Amino acid sequence: MMKLTTQSKEIIGNFPLGFVATVTPGGRPAVSPKGTFLVLDDATIAFGEIRSPGTVANLAINPECEVNFVDPFLRKGVRIRGEAQMLRQGTDGFDALIGRWRETWGDLADRINIIVKIPVAEAKPLTAPPYDDGATEAEMIALYKAKYAGIYP
C-alpha cells in the first residue's frame, strides 16, 4: 500500500473529478469521469457511483483500475492505481462511509448506489511539459487563468 502525498490529496480535494480507466470484458480500454471522489485516508480514495453501469461491470470482472486527477491551472496531477472494492448500498461498509458524501455533496449522496474504494497500490505524479522547460507554478496558473477567462468571460 502506498501513501498519497499532501499535494496529491490537495489536488483530489480541490478537483474531485477523476478519470477512471478500466478494462472491458472484451479487453478494450474504457475511461469514465467520476466527479464524487474523496480521499478517505492517506492510502485510500473512493467515489460514489451514481450512474456508471459500465464501470461497475468492468470492475466486477477486473477490479484493477487507474484514476487520473489534474489541477487544470497548475497542470499537475496524480495517477493512482489500485484494485477497486465495491461497497453496495445497504451493507455495513457502505453505511459506515456514506455520511462523508452527505457532508460534501448533500442530497446528491442519496443517489449513490455503490461506494467504490480504491486502496492506493501506486501513485505517480503528473506534470505538463512546460515544467521541463523551467515554467513555474505561478506562470502556469496565470496562463490558464487567462485562457479560461477567454473561454468563459
Cα separation, 87 vs 20, in Å, equals 17
User: What's the confidence (pLDDT) of residue 121?
Assistant: 98
Per-residue pLDDT at 89 exceeds 90: yes
Name the phi and psi angles at 114, rounded to 5.
Answer: -140, 140
Per-residue pLDDT at 1 exceeds 80: no
pTM, whole model, 2 decimals? 0.94
Question: Using an 8 Å Cβ cutoff, are 55 and 30 in contact?
Answer: yes
Half-sphere exposure (Cβ direction) of 21: Cα atoms closer than 13 Å: 11
What confidence tens digit (pLDDT) does each residue in 10-56 have? 999 999 999 999 999 999 999 999 999 999 999 999 999 999 999 99
DSSP 134: T
